Structure 1
């Protein structure tokens, strides 16, 4: 039973990490047209227990993508300089959509593993009741 509990914990940590990733991807998509916005990225880190990897993951610190911002020509924009350009964002919608899809599928895989472990533990309890 301890192994099944461990599987539940591992899959729950994966779901939490992917949910955090998906939250940052949605923030990026929402701010794609915000001038001066830098894309947020989140990394995953292995959870350690007394120097040994447990298999669980957690999110690392959120970092801003330092790639250059797009320059947009719009002389009528209030942020435009004397040359008519202003800094847009560095969010690429296709990359964000791909990241969102990957996070969703990883979340679903962890959810399926969680559900399988739950069903197995339920079956074990049913066998023990007999």
Structure 2
């Protein structure tokens, strides 16, 4: 199975975080076996932090991972999970989901990323 392909957009609606984590184990191993010893992941669901932790603990093979966890953006920005989706299905995302519209929202979001174990912060337009 490929990480990116014709069905990758559909997967965000049909896969849960456990499915994503399970698939990520194979992707991490193949990334390492293809010669990549260090990678950056600048936007994900939080599974990226768990995969990094499992690699660091020696539980699964994979490259060194520097991750931001979920990236940040304003409402309608690149990291807004409601983009292209019905707001009825998604709701009204805030700092925890990566949507920040004020200095206070940004502070909350950055602190949450730090608490979750992010190595860096990714801010998108």
Higher alpha-carbon Rg: 1
Q: Give the shorter-chain TM-score range.
A: under 0.3
Taking CA–CA contacts closer than 8 Å with sequence separation of 6 or more, which of the two structures ends up with the larger relative contact order?
Answer: 1
TM-score (norm. length: structure 1): 0.22
TM-score (norm. length: structure 2): 0.23
- Hey, which of these two has a bigger chunk of helix by percent? 1
- Hey, which of these two has a bigger chunk of strand by percent? 1
